[in-house]
């Protein structure tokens, strides 16, 4: 998987991805992250990459020319998606991460200020994505969210089992986890986890997932295929 990130702050992308799982994935050539500095492509004599909005209004808009030239410099040949990160986009989910992890190459455009000239979107963008209903100061932070969540789904980056076991894989939130010591500040690990009875542990975890989902994100339950046991547990 190759990520080509068009940004005014390449070091934000390159430094933040130079740790832990993403660092190892790059060393093992499972993913590649390229950051292209949009400012390197501006034809403005003062190296500007933004301008006042037509029609007036607050703030500045990123101009189309440097973004389009930066994009063309990446020589995209194979069919590929071009993602623009914006609060106006489709809300990002684990399902979208899964879908994007199947691509060979993703181009990601990071906006700043009041956004980018609409003609960039009209000319090259295939997907407008928002990572949530709040406004970030720059698209780089959203790009990092995409890169991390997609990379860990690329085959070989992390163990298959951990992807299958985690939150959202069955539509529910994850059950609570414990590790040593058995007792910490008076709080003990639930006995069932020490029982060695795998069926019982599985049942307890499923019930805890259901409880956590109802408490924190009840709307997620609409998309879950509840079993007969789930229903019995929930009406108790
Ligand atoms: N850029 C600014 N805010 C954003 C958001 N919520 N999601 C994606 N990109 C953004």
pLDDT per residue rounded down to tens, the chain (236 residues): 999 999 999 999 999 999 999 999 999 999 999 999 999 999 999 999 999 999 999 999 999 999 999 999 998 777 899 999 999 999 999 999 999 999 999 999 999 989 999 999 999 999 999 999 999 999 999 999 999 999 999 999 999 888 877 878 789 999 999 999 999 999 999 999 999 999 999 999 999 999 999 999 999 999 999 999 999 999 98
Q: Is 89 helix (H, G, I), strand (E, B) or coil?
A: strand
Whole-Å CA distances, 153 to 96, 108, 116, 118, 177: 11, 18, 30, 32, 22
Residue 216: per-residue pLDDT: 98
Q: Which fold has domain 2-160?
A: Alpha/beta knot (3.40.1280)
Check residue 54 and give left, alpha or beta (phi > 0: left; psi -120 to 50: alpha). Answer: beta
Angle, helices 228-235/198-216, rounded to nearest 10 degrees: 60
Report the separation in Å between the CA atom of 77 and the middle of ligand 1, taken as the mean of its atom positions: 27
**Residue 153 CB-density burial (10 A; 0-12 exposed, 13-18 middle, 19+ buried):** middle
Report the separation in Å between the CA atom of 137 and the middle of ligand 1, taken as the mean of its atom positions: 8
* Continuous H helices in 5-84: 10-16, 20-27, 64-73
- Note the CATH architecture for domain 167-235: Orthogonal Bundle (1.10)
Residue 77: per-residue pLDDT: 75
Ligand 1 site: residues with CB under 6 angstroms?
85-87, 130-132, 134-136, 139, 142
Distance separating alpha carbons of residues 50 and 65, to the nearest angstrom: 10
- Residue-range domain boundaries for the chain: 2-160, 167-235
């Amino acid at each position: 998987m190759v990520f080509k990130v068009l940004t005014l702050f390449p070091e934000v992308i390159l430094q933040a991805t130079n740790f832990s799982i993403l660092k190892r994935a790059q060393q093992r050539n499972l993913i590649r992250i390229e950051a292209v500095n949009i400012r390197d492509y501006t034809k403005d004599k003062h190296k500007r990459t933004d301008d006042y909005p037509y029609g007036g209004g607050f703030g500045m808009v990123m101009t189309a020319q440097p973004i389009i030239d930066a994009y063309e410099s990446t020589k995209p040949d194979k069919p590929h998606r071009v993602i623009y990160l914006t609060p106006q986009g489709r809300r990002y989910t684990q399902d979208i991460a899964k879908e994007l992890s199947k691509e060979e190459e993703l181009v990601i455009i990071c906006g700043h200020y009041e956004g980018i000239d609409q003609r960039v979107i009209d000319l090259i963008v295939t997907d407008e994505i928002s990572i949530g209903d709040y406004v970030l100061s720059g698209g780089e932070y959203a790009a990092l969210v995409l890169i991390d969540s997609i990379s860990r789904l690329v085959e070989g980056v992390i163990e298959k089992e951990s992807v299958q076991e985690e939150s959202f894989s069955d539509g529910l939130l994850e059950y609570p986890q414990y590790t040593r010591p058995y007792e910490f500040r008076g709080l003990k690990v639930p006995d069932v986890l020490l029982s060695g009875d795998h069926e019982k542990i599985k049942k307890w975890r499923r019930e805890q997932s259901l409880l956590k989902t109802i408490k924190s994100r009840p709307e997620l339950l609409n998309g879950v295929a509840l079993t007969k046991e789930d229903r019995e547990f929930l009406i108790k």
